[in-house]
């Protein structure tokens, strides 16, 4: 199932935020398990997410573990590890990533480094985008990403 919709949230004093209930249900149903082979695994499967700043926009992208592994596999398949520039692109992609785990209450701790990169102060907006969840500052998504007239023209062009 794809993540869709947008939901507001607020960081607490420890930089934790509740993942929207709708997204938690999708994660539990379609992406649960985390690292079940861990020797420290409990009876309850954890939900492991990978967070990194988006390549194009000022937001965080949360990847469920299986989606992250597929993205890395796809990226690796398109890059030659014996080409120094391509290897640096792969490293840079990995360098920006952090592992986050959802607690039993449905919260994730957003690492301070990522909070600073995006400029999150308190209020965030979660946006479901296919197999990932984006986390934006609320004020960034309060304004359009594309003006209405341009959006109309582009959607007609892309949907032909």
Residue count of the chain: 160
Residue 10 backbone class (left: φ over 0; alpha: ψ -120 to 50; beta: rest): beta
Q: Please tell me the pTM assigned to this model.
A: 0.89
Query: Quick one: angle between helices 84-95 and 65-78, nearest 10?
Result: 170
115 close to 60: Cβ distance less than 8 angstroms: no
Task: Give the pLDDT confidence score for residue 33 in this predicted structure.
Answer: 59
Q: Which domains does the chain have, with CATH numbers?
A: 6-158 (3.40.1550.20)
Residues 125, 107: Cα–Cα separation, whole Å: 14
CA–CA separation, 105 vs 80, rounded Å? 42
At 31 the pLDDT is: 86
**What pLDDT, on a 0 to 100 scale, did the predictor assign at position 36?**
39
> What's the confidence (pLDDT) of residue 32?
76
pLDDT in tens, the chain (160 residues): 899 999 999 999 999 999 999 999 999 998 875 443 444 444 455 699 999 999 999 999 999 999 999 999 999 999 999 999 999 999 999 999 999 999 999 999 999 999 999 999 999 999 999 999 999 999 999 999 999 999 999 999 999 9
Q: Phi/psi at 53 (nearest 5 deg)?
A: -70, 140
C-alpha distances out from residue 57 to 93, 110, 128, 134, 140, Å: 15, 18, 15, 10, 10
């Amino acid at each position: 199932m794809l993540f869709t919709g947008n939901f507001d949230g607020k960081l607490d004093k420890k930089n934790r935020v509740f993942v929207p209930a709708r997204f938690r249900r999708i994660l539990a149903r379609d992406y649960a398990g985390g690292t079940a082979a861990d020797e420290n695994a409990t009876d309850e499967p954890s939900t492991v997410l990978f967070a990194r700043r988006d390549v194009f926009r000022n937001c965080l992208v949360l990847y469920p573990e299986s989606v992250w592994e597929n993205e890395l596999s796809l990226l690796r398949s398109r890059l030659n590890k014996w080409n120094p520039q391509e290897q640096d692109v792969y490293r840079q992609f990995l360098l920006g990533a952090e592992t986050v785990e959802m607690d039993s209450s449905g919260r994730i701790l957003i690492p301070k480094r990522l909070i600073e990169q995006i400029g999150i102060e308190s209020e965030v907006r979660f946006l479901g985008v296919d197999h990932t969840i984006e986390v934006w500052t609320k004020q960034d998504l309060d304004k359009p990403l594309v003006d209405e007239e341009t959006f109309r023209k582009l959607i007609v062009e892309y949907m032909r």
